[in-house]
Amino acid sequence: MDGGEFSGATKDTGAVAYRVLARKYRPKSFDDLVGQEPMVRTLRNAFETGRIAQAYMLTGVRGVGKTTTARILARGLNYLVPGKIDKPTIDMPELGVHCAEIMEGRHVDVIEMDAASNNGIDHIREIIEAVRYKPVSARYKVYILDEVHMLSGAAFNGLLKTLEEPPEHVKFIFATTEIRKVPVTVLSRCQRFDLRRIEQDRLIGLLGTITAQEGVTIDAEALAMIARAAEGSARDSLSLLDQAIAHGAGTIVAEDVRGMLGLADRSRVIDLFEALMAGRVSDALSLLKAQYDIGAEPGVVLQDLAAFTHQVTRIKVVPGAGEDAGMAENERRRAGEFAATLPLRILSRTWQMLLKGIEEAQGSSRPLAAADMVLIRIAHASDLPTPDEALRLLKSGALPAPSSPAAPQPPSPDPGARASAPSSSAFGQGGGQGRSMAEPAFRPVEASAQPVPATAKAVPAIRFQRFEDLVAYVGLKRDLPLKLALEREVRVIRFEPGLLEFEPTADAPRTLAADIGRKLTDWTGERFMVSLGRGATTQTLAERQEAEQLKQKSDARSDPLVAAVLARFPGAEIVDVQIRGEESDAAALPAPVAADVIGDLTDDPSEQTDD
What are 286-307's pLDDT values in tens digits?
Answer: 999 988 887 788 888 899 899 8
Classify the phi-psi angles of 450: left when phi > 0, otherwise alpha if psi is within -120 to 50, otherwise beta.
Answer: beta
The per-residue pLDDT for 553 is 83
State yes or no: pLDDT of 211 exceeds 80: yes
Q: Are 491 and 540 in contact, with CB atoms under 8 Å apart?
A: yes
Mean predicted confidence (pLDDT) in 171-186: 92
Mean pLDDT is lowest, of 25-29, 254-258, 368-372, for: 254-258
- CB burial of residue 550 (10 Å; 0-12, 13-18, 19+): exposed
The per-residue pLDDT for 225 is 84
Percent of the chain with pLDDT over 90: 21
3-state SS class at 111? strand
Mean pLDDT is lowest, of 3-17, 221-235, 476-490, for: 3-17
The mean predicted confidence, pLDDT, of the chain is 78
**Which run of H or E residues covers position 487?**
helix 480-488
What is the per-residue pLDDT across 477-527, written as a single tens digit (0 to 9) for each? 778 888 888 888 898 888 887 788 888 888 888 888 888 888 888 887 777
The CATH number of 467-538 is which of 3.40.720, 3.30.300, 1.10.10, 3.30.70?
3.30.300
Single-letter amino acid code for the residue at 15: A
What is the per-residue pLDDT across 70-118, written as a single tens digit (0 to 9) for each? 999 999 999 999 888 888 998 898 888 999 999 888 899 999 998 888 8
The per-residue pLDDT for 572 is 81
Report the C-alpha gap between 235 and 241 in whole angstroms: 10
191-194: strand order across its sheet: 110-114, 141-146, 170-176, 55-59, 191-194
Mean predicted confidence (pLDDT) in 406-415: 45
State yes or no: pLDDT of 321 exceeds 80: no
Out of 133-137, 428-432, 482-486, 574-578, give the one with best mean pLDDT: 133-137
Report the C-alpha gap between 579 and 562 in whole angstroms: 14
Q: Kindly write down the DSSP assignment for every residue of 189-247, as one continuous string.
A: TSEEEEPPPPPHHHHHHHHHHHHHHHT-EE-HHHHHHHHHHHTT-HHHHHHHHHHHHHH
**Which run of H or E residues covers position 420?**
helix 415-420
The per-residue pLDDT for 327 is 66
3-state SS class at 179? helix
State yes or no: pLDDT of 24 exceeds 80: yes
Q: CATH says 4-194 is which class?
A: alpha beta
Q: For residue 487, how many other CB atoms are within 10 A of its CB?
A: 20
State yes or no: pLDDT of 263 exceeds 50: yes
State the pLDDT confidence band at 441, using cuts at 50, 70 and 90.
very low
Q: Are 178 and 149 in contact, with CB atoms under 8 Å apart?
A: yes
Q: For residue 305, how many other CB atoms are within 10 A of its CB?
A: 27
3-state SS class at 109? coil
CA proximity to 467, closest of 572, 542, 534? 542
CB-based burial, 355-383: b 16+ in 10 Å, e otherwise: eebbebbbeeeebbebbbebbbbbbbbbb
Mean pLDDT is lowest, of 179-183, 320-324, 355-359, 528-532, for: 320-324
Q: Kindly write down the DSSP assignment for every residue of 300-367, as one continuous string.
A: HHHHHHHHHHHHHHHHHH-GGGGG-TTS-HHHHHHHHHHHHHS-HHHHHHHHHHHHHHHHHHHH-SSH
Report the C-alpha gap between 248 and 91 in whole angstroms: 39
Q: Are 503 and 494 in contact, with CB atoms under 8 Å apart?
A: no
The per-residue pLDDT for 514 is 83
State yes or no: pLDDT of 448 exceeds 70: no
Tell me how far the alpha carbon of residue 147 is from its chain's centroid. Answer: 30
Report the C-alpha gap between 608 and 611 in whole angstroms: 10
490-496: strand order across its sheet: 490-496, 499-504, 529-532
CA proximity to 180, closest of 59, 308, 36, 93? 59
State the pLDDT confidence band at 160, using cuts at 50, 70 and 90.
very high
State yes or no: pLDDT of 393 exceeds 80: no
Greater pLDDT, 441 or 507: 507
State yes or no: pLDDT of 193 exceeds 50: yes
Report the C-alpha gap between 141 and 109 in whole angstroms: 5
Mean predicted confidence (pLDDT) in 345-355: 89
State yes or no: pLDDT of 330 exceeds 90: no
Report the C-alpha gap between 74 and 561 in whole angstroms: 54
Mention every residue, 6+ apart, whose C-beta is less than 8 A from residue 557: 563, 566, 574
The CATH number of 266-382 is which of 2.60.40.1260, 1.20.272.10, 3.30.300.30, 3.30.460.80?
1.20.272.10
Task: Give the CATH architecture of domain 200-261.
Answer: Orthogonal Bundle (1.10)
State yes or no: pLDDT of 236 exceeds 70: yes
State yes or no: pLDDT of 187 exceeds 90: yes
Three-state secondary structure of 489-536: CEEEEEEECCEEEEEECCCCCCCHHHHHHHHHHHHHCCCCEEEECCCC
Mean predicted confidence (pLDDT) in 187-206: 89
DSSP code of 399?
Answer: S
The per-residue pLDDT for 552 is 83
**Which run of H or E residues covers position 103?**
helix 99-103
The per-residue pLDDT for 462 is 64
CA proximity to 383, closest of 607, 118, 91? 607
Domain limits, the chain: 4-194, 200-261, 266-382, 467-538
State the pLDDT confidence band at 7, using cuts at 50, 70 and 90.
very low
Percent of the chain with pLDDT over 70: 77
State the pLDDT confidence band at 583, using cuts at 50, 70 and 90.
very low
